[in-house]
Amino acid sequence: MVVEEDLESEKKEIIRRYRRLLRKAKPVLKDGDAKLIKKAFYTSMEAHSGMRRRSGEPYIFHPLEVAEICISEIGLGTTSIIAALLHDVVEDTDYELDDIERLFGKKVAVIIDGLTKISGVFDQGSSQQAENFRKMLLTLSDDVRVILIKLADRLHNMRTLESMPRNKQLKIANETIYLYAPLAHRLGLYAFKSELEDLYLKYSEPEVYNDISGKINETKDSRNKFIRNFIRPIKDKLNSLNVEYEIKGRPKSIHSIWNKMKKQNVPFDEVYDLFAVRIILNVPYKDEKALCWQVYSLVTDYYQPNPDRLRDWISIPKANGYESLHTTVMSDTGQWVEVQVRTTRMDEIAEKGYAAHWKYKDGKSSDETGLEMWIGKVREILEQNNGNAIEFVDDFRSNLYSDEVFVFTPKGDLKTLPQGATALDFAFDIHTEIGEHCLGAKVNQKLVPLNFELKNGDQVEILTSSKQKPNESWLQYVVSSKAKSKIKDALKEERKVFIDEGREIVKRKLKQLKIEYKQTVLEEIAHYFNVKSPADLLYLVGTGKIDHSLIKSFVKADYKVSKTNADVQGAKDVEEKLSRVRKTDSDLLLLGEDLDIIDYKFAKCCNPIAGDDVFGFVTVSDGIKIHRTTCPNAAELLSNYGYRIIKAKWASSRKHSFEATLSIIGTDRLGLVSDVSNIISEELKVNMRSLSINTEGGIFEGIIRLYVEDTSHLDTLVKKLEKVTGVVKVSRTN
């Protein structure tokens, strides 16, 4: 009886959510749209019938929520709502793409195809996630809505991540910060980007997240009072303009505050612009620019601006369509406050990105916007990219967050390039052939080399020669995805020729030595010469950088690749081996107990110690490495190499020593070093590996390397050291 009641209340809740979706969609619906949405809803409900999410909720809640995010937070229309309702149907149920096309038409089917993950087996060297991401981006050529719906899907998954096991939380959160937050940023979805970043922090570093969010809540009343006092004099002046306006005061996102704390190495209280005041004007398009500057003038008449912090994205918008005027001013209480001046149109584009940008395009200039130009460039990169998916994702990602630099051609045409772009980037941006034959450039009439970094306002003329061709060092000279991938293409062609030559040489040499030419032998030779892969080995032999006669020394050395983990190819193998040896279902790697079953090492990039949140990573040739979840490399490893990640935790019965590094800063005084070393070795009986202290102008900075048992042991030590007279700050470094 209770079960029936529960099912009945669930049905009511599903219908309530469906009706809420229709209400929110009402402003964009045309004739017949409501019927199509109803059809999609019932198709999805039937397809997912009986399915539940990890939280125990009916699965249909997820597509309904994703559709609602699409309409209310991005502003997409009927086609997107239908696609969002059906986005998991082909992947998770018996429905085929042909069924979707028959029921809802070609357009919806194309979007669903882009949203459906690739199925099939991948080579150990490739990453399913990178392949999925590349496939999703390929749909940009057909329909940008695929990515917008994917972002809505990811946002809802992040909002409901609580019910997932810890290892899944880490993987999804790191994938989000690595790929999806930068993508939301580039598509101008700032509200999405901030929420995705905050949710990443919530799951990757919960203590940091809770600490900052607690402090933001604690300071809410005093912050609101401060903002009221700050805007009072500006309001009086704004009223005299006789325009409709709205003023919002809001704290910076938790993730951006955390970033500033790390970058500036300061506590929460010392982050100087913790919040921003936004002035939004409701004015006609033709008056926007003049009125924004007028309001800027009113603000800076009353408050002193920081001249280095003026950002004018109204005259030249960002590549993702973002327009706003930012300045940082000094308040009466001695606090810096960021003031953003924009119009209602600009604010909607900043919050809802691409969809809002299209809504406002009608009747405006027919010129291509920065966002359309960027999407055009992405299509170009995708169409000619056929290399390794992970390499592609890294290149692509590096261009998502970067700011722009604005430069001019000799005829005065404006070109937008990523920050840090060089003369060579500019050459490839104009045309691939001009890039490949680029000798140098004239910037503002002066001759400069290929790697000359361009600045805003530079006028660039490219010099070419038919004899010039790309070489390996060019990859160090460029930052744009297009230039990188074109240079790699040219090098691949040349490299292919050398690899073929190298293959013939190695085959002949092995034949003479009576050794069979096969992949495992090539891998062993590559390992012997400390070369990354067999392809690299063949290339180096082909170019003569490795003399083929040296292969004989490999045979003499009777060299074999270490077999310690030869039977361990990926996470699955490790988990199976652990379960098999223990004769239990547990596939968790217990650090401190399992060394006899599986060999592992601690990663040097983050030096984990007992008590740290960690995961295992199966490397190609160096066994299993244990990393902290906050390691600088964690996002990339967890995003791109899911099949090599192992769940790991510390065994409670450990008694080991781990190396940790502390940074210590303070004011110098006589006997300070002696006090510090006494606490370490006498009071806490900690073994110190090294202590180096530099003193300048009465300030000292030191690095201490020592051995501790676990994180609580380290915390006790840090607290003791902070109490030493003169010590200002003690922090753990990787």
Active-site residue set: 91-92
Q: Give which of 594, 716, 682, 639 is closest to 170, Cα–Cα.
A: 639
Q: Which of 59, 125, 110, 68 is nearest to 88 (CA)?
A: 59
Single out the residue of 688, 670, 658, 672 nearest to residue 721, CA to CA: 672
Whole-number Å distance between alpha carbons of 565 and 2:
53
Taken in order 45, 47, 52, 54, the sign of the CA dihedral is negative
DSSP-derived letter for residue 120 is S
Distance of CA 485 to the CA centre of its chain: 20
Burial 247-274, CB ≥16 within 10 A → b, else e: bebebbbbbbbbebbeeeeeebeebebb
Whether the CB-CB separation of 564 and 599 falls below 8 Å is answered with yes
Residue type, position 69, single letter: I
Contact indicator for 472, 491 with CB cutoff of 8 Å: yes
Q: Which residues contact 523 (CB under 8 A, 6 or more apart)?
A: 534, 561
Helix, strand, coil % (nearest 5) of the chain? 55, 15, 30
332 burial via Cβ count (<10 Å: 0-12, 13-18, 19+): exposed
Helix (H, G, I), strand (E, B) or coil at 584: coil
At residue 381, φ and ψ (nearest 5 deg) are -60, -45
Nearest-angstrom CA–CA distance, 332 and 121: 63
Backbone angles phi, psi at 89, to 5 degrees: -65, -45
Q: What secondary structure letter does DSSP report for 52?
A: B
Nearest to 39 by CA among 30, 50, 47: 47
Coil, helix or strand at residue 364? coil
Phi/psi-derived region of residue 695, left when phi > 0, alpha when psi is between -120 and 50, beta in every other case = beta
User: In this structure, are strands 304-305 and 446-448 parallel, antiparallel, or unpaired?
Assistant: unpaired
